[in-house]
Amino acid sequence: VLGLLVWTLIAGTEYFLYPAFGWVMFVAVFYWVLTVFFLIIYMTMTYTRIPQVPWTTVGLFFNGSAFILYLIAAIVDASSVTKELDSHNYNSWAASSFFAFVVTSCYAGNTYFSFISWRSRTLQ
């Protein structure tokens, strides 16, 4: 839901005029789609039918990459928000920056828990 907020707040503006917001949109939409995909896989328990895939490792790499790229996107988003660019888009861009950092912290926490799960699997 928070990732959806990030890209909808930016998509409602003229973000295409500023390449930095294009990068933020790419990261936000890409990881939103992948997160929904993995949510469906886990809710339908499809992962139990594909035991060849190391799901703990996949989860660790997914969450780790999401954390790193979202952190970069959040920093780019925050550094690109200025009142001089376009004043009526300022509030949307500032809110998207805030939510990008919230999503980054969520992925950081999920990366930590994925690491704990992965580590407990490899120690067995």
Copy the structure tokens of residue 101.
């950092």
Instruction: Indicate the domain borders of the chain.
Output: 1-81+91-122
DSSP for residue 53:
S
Give CA–CA dist 95/12, Å, rounded: 12
Task: Supply the pLDDT for residue 91.
Answer: 83
Res 100: pLDDT: 94
Q: What is the pLDDT of residue 106?
A: 95
The two three-digit tokens of residue 10, written as one number:
């930016």
pLDDT, one tens digit per residue, over 76-97 is 989 988 777 556 778 888 899 9
Q: What is the pLDDT of residue 17?
A: 76
Which residues of the chain fall below pLDDT 50?
A: none
| 3-state SS, residue 109 | helix
Q: What pLDDT, on the 0 to 100 scale, is given for residue 85?
A: 59
3-state secondary structure of 18: coil
Distance CA 59, CA 115 (A): 9
> What is the reported pTM?
0.86
- What is the model's pLDDT at position 68? 97
